Amino acid sequence: VLQWQGDVLVIGSGFGGSLAALIAQRLGRTVLVVDRGQHPRFAIGESSTPLANLVLESLSKRFDLPWLSPLANYASWKRAAPELDVGLKRGFSYFHHQRNERWSPGNGRDKELLVAASHSESDADTHWLRSDFDSHLVERARQAGIPVWEQTALAGMERTPEGWQLWGQSQGQPCELRPRFVVDATGEGSFLAVQLGLSHVTKQLRTRSRAVFGHFRGVQPWGPLAARAGGQTHQHPFPCDAAALHHVFDGGWMWVLRFDSGVTSAGFSLDPERFPLMLDRTPAEEWRWLLSQFPSIEEQFASATVVAPQAGITRTGRLQRGLATAAGSGYALLPNAVGFIDPLHSTGNAHTLLGLEHLATIWEQHWGRTSMAPALEEYSQRVLAELLTIDQIVAGCQAGFSEFPRMVAMSLFYFVTAIWSEHRRRSGQQVPTSFLCADEPWLQTALSRCRSEVLDLHTPMEQAIPLVCETFGDRNLAGLGDPRWHPWYPYPAE
């Protein structure tokens, strides 16, 4: 029987799990990482954001992981790790499509939204090719002396006076593990939720979407197609393809993320009531059918071929899931194991990293003390409040998909709070404790007021953005909603 005994067991070796292990080790803990799979492997969840990168940078400094900091920025990543595939992300671009119609720019202002997340390529964000990024982090963990057991499936666990006992199979051999603390970094694998019977809040979540996605080669850039359709792409604050490109339509949206190798990650997030799962079609057939509904997107993908995952186009059930608990005595779940809402606005990775940063502080300040329990309780409440806030924002956007200004209005809740937090981190001022200011009463009040007013079809569409902007006060650092900029916003100066 393979045995291990130590301080921290991390289950799941995505970037969240590997970083949790590296940090725990830097804090003097003995650590083991296990994963049921094996690297390199396909993973979704690729588009980073300024906040995610600021946290990466800060973790790198705080925990003496100097190789990590170059990966927090496009230019330094290219210099330090050219062998890892990456995409340039200058910001977020959104284009609104009508079903069965070619895209057209309308009056030039109500079919687009571009929000910059950087000033230039030198301070730009990244898309992470997760098979490269995650294997690199696992390799760094191994180099740091952390054992990583791949192809390890744990079957059960129970409490012991010192911590936990877990058992299962590792590469065909029985194994027995005795950690003091367990980190669940299994994402949708939901290891602790199953083992501890944690209760769910999924029924409370308002967002409803399912996904159909893959990696492709041969996807045309959108900018030239938009320009040929009359789009004023010269006004864009950054090339709209060097971004998390979103095609938005009534009933869903599509992400398009380009990597430097020529691979493009693309997928549809669909309201299952408007676009029910097509059980009579294969995922590839459904993909082609979806493209055929949007002629300009179909043109963008006319020469595209699927390159990953190996099984081809992937189709999911409902994406939303959520647990009522994120931590307890002797365990914590990283945010993606607690829940997930939707890829809209790329919130997942920043949420994961902020959760990890909080957990690191708890270990640093409370390990072995009785104060650990209330600190973990606070972590649990914060992660859950953040998840519910992401849900409110995304569900609000989703309700606005049919009338683009309403979706833009609701998305400003994401941009204003994210840019506010980024700015405060950079300027060394007190940083909002929660992701997207989720714990701030003004936000919750503003969100519920705007949800009922902005999404009420009696409110004229033109009033949607001004209505939301009223609620932000001096937090709206990028001047979002200002008619002088709308809909092409540069990143605010520091």
Ligand X SMILES: Cc1cc2nc3c(=O)[nH]c(=O)nc-3n(C[C@H](O)[C@H](O)[C@H](O)COP(=O)(O)OP(=O)(O)OC[C@H]3O[C@@H](n4cnc5c(N)ncnc54)[C@H](O)[C@@H]3O)c2cc1C
Provide the minimum distance between the beta carbon of 70 and ligand X in the complex, in angstroms, as a whole number. 19
Q: 90: closest CA among 60, 62, 122?
A: 122
Nearer to ligand X, 334 or 450 (CB): 334
Nearer to ligand X, 190 or 471 (CB): 190
Nearer to ligand X, 12 or 223 (CB): 12
Contact residues toward ligand X (CB under 6 A) are: 11-17, 34-37, 43-47, 154, 185-187, 189, 191, 211, 213, 267, 319, 334, 336, 340, 343, 346, 348-349, 352
Nearer to ligand X, 334 or 416 (CB): 334
Provide the minimum distance between the beta carbon of 454 and ligand X in the complex, in angstroms, as a whole number. 25
Measured distance CA(296)–CA(97) in Å, rounded: 9
Vertex 128, ends 191 and 354: CA angle to 5°?
A: 55
Q: What does 129-174 look like in DSSP terms, one character per residue?
A: -HHHHHHHHHHHHHHTT--EE-SEEEEEEEE-SSSEEEEEEETTEE
Provide the minimum distance between the beta carbon of 230 and ligand X in the complex, in angstroms, as a whole number. 29
Nearer to ligand X, 213 or 216 (CB): 213
Reduced to 3 states, what is the DSSP secondary structure of residue 475?
A: helix
Provide the minimum distance between the beta carbon of 167 and ligand X in the complex, in angstroms, as a whole number. 13
Half-sphere exposure of 367 (CA within 13 A, CB side): 15
Distant-in-sequence contacts of 290-294, Cβ < 8 A, 24+ apart = 290/212, 293/99, 293/100, 294/97, 294/99, 294/100, 294/103, 294/247, 294/249
Provide the minimum distance between the beta carbon of 74 and ligand X in the complex, in angstroms, as a whole number. 15
Nearer to ligand X, 15 or 181 (CB): 15
DSSP state of 389: H
In whole angstroms, how far apart are CA 204 and each of 29, 263, 322, 413? 37, 37, 9, 20
φ and ψ at residue 230, rounded to 5 degrees: 100, 5
Provide the minimum distance between the beta carbon of 306 and ligand X in the complex, in angstroms, as a whole number. 16
Provide the minimum distance between the beta carbon of 397 and ligand X in the complex, in angstroms, as a whole number. 15
Vertex 312, ends 309 and 318: CA angle to 5°?
A: 85
Measured distance CA(72)–CA(142) in Å, rounded: 21
Q: What is the largest CA-CA distance in the chain?
A: 69
Nearer to ligand X, 135 or 392 (CB): 135
DSSP state of 404: H
Nearer to ligand X, 113 or 350 (CB): 350
Nearer to ligand X, 266 or 416 (CB): 266
Provide the minimum distance between the beta carbon of 460 and ligand X in the complex, in angstroms, as a whole number. 33
Provide the minimum distance between the beta carbon of 127 and ligand X in the complex, in angstroms, as a whole number. 7
Measured distance CA(459)–CA(455) in Å, rounded: 8
Provide the minimum distance between the beta carbon of 349 and ligand X in the complex, in angstroms, as a whole number. 3
φ and ψ at residue 134, rounded to 5 degrees: -65, -40
Nearer to ligand X, 335 or 405 (CB): 335
